[in-house]
Structure formats: structure tokens, C-alpha cells
Structure 1
Amino acid sequence: MLQTGTLVTMVPVLLFLLLLLGPAVSQDAQDDHYSLTYFYTGLSKPSEDYPKFWAVGFLNDQEFFHYDSESRKAEPVGPWRHVEGMEDWDKESKLQQAREDFFLDTLQDIMDYYDDSNGSHTFQGKFGCELQNNGSSGAFWKYAYDGKDFIEFNKETPAWVPLDPAAWNTKKKWEPYVENVKEYLEEECPDIMQRYRNYSRHILDRQDPPSVAVTSRTTPGEKSILRCQVYGFYPQGIGLHWTRDSEVQESKSGGDVLPSGGGTYLSSVLLEVPPQDRHHYSCHVEHSALAQPLSVPWDSRQDTGAGDTGGTQSQ
């Protein structure tokens, strides 16, 4: 089973989207890493909430275009709506329409193989390429059926590698186009990514510093729970921890970086503090948009009873 940032089941769809928006790009390498990734999803029995097919494109961790079987249009999203000349979206719509037909035909072939044309099934695809500033590159193309690995492309061989019994039929149909797939991953995709990158530097390379909120919650006779939340930052790589008298503390929970909307991220860490503890606790934050790390102290004198207390600091 593929892990976070790869192919997962479409049920529930919100969980799938959350995983996609997770750290598919290494946080430590994000400043010198660019990737172009497409995610395709097809449903055999679409509902009112979801179309039969849709596709999204990501530059690094930012969605830049959307297409679905209802609108039949590829359209830029977010800040890319205001980027002129990046793509001929009418031409891109025709390309996505052709990919939709091909994608849904493959889904039907798999259902026919398992003699289950009346069932509810999901077919997903992920493909794209990435580039490091040091010149190294990579590419990927893989599919999943009902949340399980189905087939993936090995560009070194080159060949499609079946990961499901039905995928052997798919491999046979796709074999005449192996060289086309290899050429797309090694040449066309990097060229497209480089062009998109040139139009998107002001979006992808921006630096939004985090705002920091330190709060605490306690009840009489119990430990205090300190919470440090950082939000509104980009890129997603961030260092976040509590210190006691300048010594790093192991947090009770938290630390995950999640999308907060508008192309920025949020994260938080929790720490338990014994009753009447008078040590000096601070939330330590490091981010590429900060000229220097932030250290936001917790004032235990504000922690007077049940509920949240604390303050906020912005850079």
C-alpha cells in the first residue's frame, strides 16, 4: 500500500485530499525543490457531491489547476487565476478530456475483468516529475484501484509493472506506448515544469512568516496544558518546540503541518506542565521567512483557572 503523498482510497474523499496536501515535498528540501504532479480520480458510481472524473495539478504543494467531467474545462485556481500566458487553457481542456476518456475506459476494463460492472469502484492515478536545483531529477507514474496499488511505470526498464491481476491486461494494452510515456516523464514533463516554474516563482518562492499564539488550559490541582500554535506561514517547513529554561522539551502531542487555506499552513505542539511549576517555558519557532528564530514565553501568572489564557505574537 502506498503511503502519504501517494495513492490512497477515495473513501472518504476528504481524508484523501488531506493526505495529498501533506508533506509530499520534503520540508527540508522545499526551498530548492520543484515538482509538477497530477492526480486523477475516476468513480464508477459518482454521487451528487463528486463528478465521475476529476483532475488536479500541483506545483510543489500548491494546487494550480482543476478539471472535472461536469465542466469539461481545465481552469487555473488560486493565485494562478491571475497569471497570464502560463498555459493555453482551451488546449489543456481538450487534453484533459482525452485523458478522462482513456482513464474511465481503463476503469471499465478493470471492472469487466472482475465481472463487477455494477459495483462501486475507484480508480486513481498520480504522475509527474521533480527537479532539484543541483540538477538531479525524478519522475513517477502510478495507479491504484479501490485504494490498492494497481500498476506503475519503471522508466529505467522501461516498462509498466503490474501490481494486480487485472493489471496484466492493462500492461498489454499500454505496451505500444511505453516509449511515449518514458519520453513524457524524462523530457516533456520537465520542460512543462520549467515553464510553469518561470511563471510561478513569485508564488512558489514567496516567504510568509508565521504568527504565534501561546495559550494554556488547566483545572485546580491538575497539570497545565501549554499549547503553541503557529499559522499563516509558507513554505511548510518549520521548526517548532517548547523549551524549559532554554532546554528543549518533548511535546505531548502535535507537530503535524496542515494546510490552513489560502496557500498557507498551520501547526501546533502541546506540553504538560506540573501544578505550581515556576520554570520559564517558551515556544521556539524557526522558519525560513523569519530573520531569526522566535521565542514566545508562557507567563504562568496568566494561568489562573480552567479555560485558555495566553497571547499572540506575529513577526
Structure 2
Amino acid sequence: MDEEDIVVIFLDRAQPPRLRGGLAGPDLGEWGRGGAGVRRNHAPPPAPGLPLRMRVPRSQPWGLALLLLLLPGTLRAAESHRSLLYHFTAVSNPASGTPAFWVSGWLGPQQYLSYNNLRAQAEPYGAWVWESQVSWYWEKETTDLRDKEKLFLEALKVFGDRDSYTLQGLLGCELGPDNVSVPMAKYALNGEEFMEFDPKLGIWDGDWPEARTIGIKWMKHPEAVNKEKTFLLYSCPHRLLGHLERGRGNLEWKGEQPP
């Protein structure tokens, strides 16, 4: 991915992810301003304070600034296609009273799920509290996200506790017109592309040595590999189709309504 492919997005409580092409990120305090390209070599992870060109502010009540690297195609999918995406964020040094790990789940342009390690419960968001779901659905979401929480917080230990780091993930799927599912599993460190998961090979990998270290640590949990593959290839498209069927009245898709 070239530097010009990096986009600025805003993930607001009232708005879905949107393209903000060509804009520099606003003041992010310790994160600063400006632009940093995606590295393709084996350089060390970006140091805290590295200038970034993307951010996602205040998507949760506690108002933590988020940093998320998304591809333009992914954003277009979120706005107009049938997609189910989970945004994961873990921070190594959370402020007092704020979570170290949180998640927002998105159906197309709408947030439908929220989770953080303080409440430790997956909960419907917005109009989706009225969705008719089977009794065990949110218990299943909670179990899955608690497992993710452990993996993300374990991964941050690779970098030590001397500095602050933000590890994020974008996992989910998009359904094409023929109902063929396209999986998405990308990770970012301090806002920069870091590693990916290959569902066919069942491995996490990236250019940085730390990405490989994390991938090896995660692959020591066979259930984590199986869950990731199962989610991306099977569970995600089935969940998406189920939400489309049960929550049709809650959707606010841009462009054509899903069938």
C-alpha cells in the first residue's frame, strides 16, 4: 500500500467511518500532527509520539482517541456494501478509569456493538438494542471478545512497559453480489500497518520482527487460530446475513439497500 492510500477517518458515535482523503490529522496531543508513511522494511515499531495522518476520536463514552489504519476499499465497503467489521483497540498504558481494550462492531455504516474490558460484556448499540436475537447470541459475542482481549493485551507485552503503544485490529467480512464472502484481518501499531492474518494458512505475519513474535505467541494458542479462521470464513458471513434478516429496519445503508 502506497502512502497516498492512507486516509483519514473519523469514527463518531453518530457517524460511520467516512473517507477523508488528503486531510492531515488534527492535533492528537502526544501523537502530534503530520504524515507518516507505511513502512515496508524491517524497521522497528514506531516510537510513541510518531506523527500520524489518521485518527478516530471519541467513538466511546470515555472519549479516548483511537488510531486506525483502513484501506479506501474497506471504507467504501463499510458505507455501501454488506459488511460486518469489528474494530479492536488495545493500549499499553490506559489513563486511570479508562479501558485498556475496547471494540466497536459495525454493520455497513452503523455501529451495532460495543465492548470494553471494564464492563467485559458485549452489548448492542443504538437501534440494535431492539434487534430480535437468539438468547445466547450476546453471550457468544462476549466470550469471543474476552478471548480477543487476552490476545491483544498479551501482544502489547512484547513491547515492554517503558513506552506507550496502541495495537488495533480490523476483522470482518464483506459479501459480494453473489454472496461470496471476502475476509478482512489487518492490524496496526500506533496507526501504522503492522501485520495481517491469512485464514488459508492460519498464520499472523508482518514485516516487523515484533509482528512475527506476536504471531508466534498467538499461534501457541491453537484455539485462537481455529477461532480466527472459523470467524473469518464461516461465522462472519453467517452473522452478517442473520443481522440483515433480523435487523433490516435498523440499517441506514448508503446507496442501494441490501437485498
**Common fold by TM > 0.5:** yes
Instruction: Give yes or no for the alignment of 1:3 onto 2:6.
Output: yes
2:139 corresponding residue in structure 1: 90
1:119 equivalent in structure 2: 163
Computed over aligned residues only, the root mean square deviation of the Cα atoms, in angstroms, reads 3.4
The one-character-per-residue Cα deviations of 1:73-128 (angstroms, maximum 9, x if unpaired) are 1110111111122563234223322221221111112x13xxxx131111111100
Equivalence for 1:276: none
Residue pairs, 1:271-286, within 5 angstroms = none
User: TM-score with structure 2 length normalisation?
Assistant: 0.65
Partner of 1:191: 238
Tell me if structure 1 keeps the 8 A contact 2:66–2:89.
Answer: no
Q: Secondary structure at the match of 2:154?
A: helix
What TM-score does the superposition give when structure 1 sets the normalisation length? Answer: 0.55
- Which amino acid is the alignment partner of residue 215 of structure 2? K
1:43 corresponds to which of 59, 67, 91? 91
CA distance 1:23–1:202, shift in 2 (3 Å): farther
Q: Which residue of 1 aligns with 2:186?
A: 142
Query: Which of 1 and 2 has greater Rg?
Result: 1
Contact 1:25 1:61 in 2 (8 A): no
Q: Deviations over 1:45-91 (max 9, x none)?
A: 11257421111100111100101111111110111111122563234
Distance of aligned partners of 1:183 and 1:97 in 2 relative to their CA distance in 1, 3 Å threshold = closer
Give the AA of the match of 2:76. Answer: S
Higher mean alpha-carbon deviation, 44-53 vs 54-63, is at 44-53
Aligned counterparts, 1:1-315, within 5 A: 3-4=6-7, 13-14=57-58, 16=66, 24-26=74-76, 30=80, 33-48=81-96, 50-85=98-133, 88-109=137-158, 111-112=159-160, 117-175=161-219, 177=222, 178=225, 180-204=227-251, 234-237=252-255
- TM-superposed CA distance for 1:175, in Å, is 3.7
Cα distance, 1:150 vs. partner? Answer: 1.6
2-side partners of 1:195 and 1:54: how far apart?
A: 24
The answer for unaligned runs of 5 or more in structure 2 is: 10-16, 18-37, 39-51, 59-64
Aligned partner of 1:222 in structure 2 is none
| Structure 1 residue 151 displacement after superposition | 1.1
Secondary structure class of the residue paired with 1:80: helix
User: Taking CA–CA contacts closer than 8 Å with sequence separation of 6 or more, which of the two structures ends up with the larger relative contact order?
Assistant: 2
How many equivalent pairs are there?
Answer: 202
Residue deviations 1:265-311, cap 9 Å, x none? xxxxxxxxxxxxxxxxxxxxxxx69xxxxxxxxxxxxxxxxxxxxxx
Question: Which one-letter code corresponds to 1:96 in the other structure?
Answer: L
Whose strand fraction is larger, Structure 1's or Structure 2's?
A: 1
State which drifts further: 170-179 or 76-85: 170-179
Over 3 Å counting, the alpha-carbon distance change for 1:16 and 1:62 in structure 2 is same
Q: Would the aligned equivalents of 2:195 and 2:211 in 1 still touch at CA under 8 Å?
A: yes
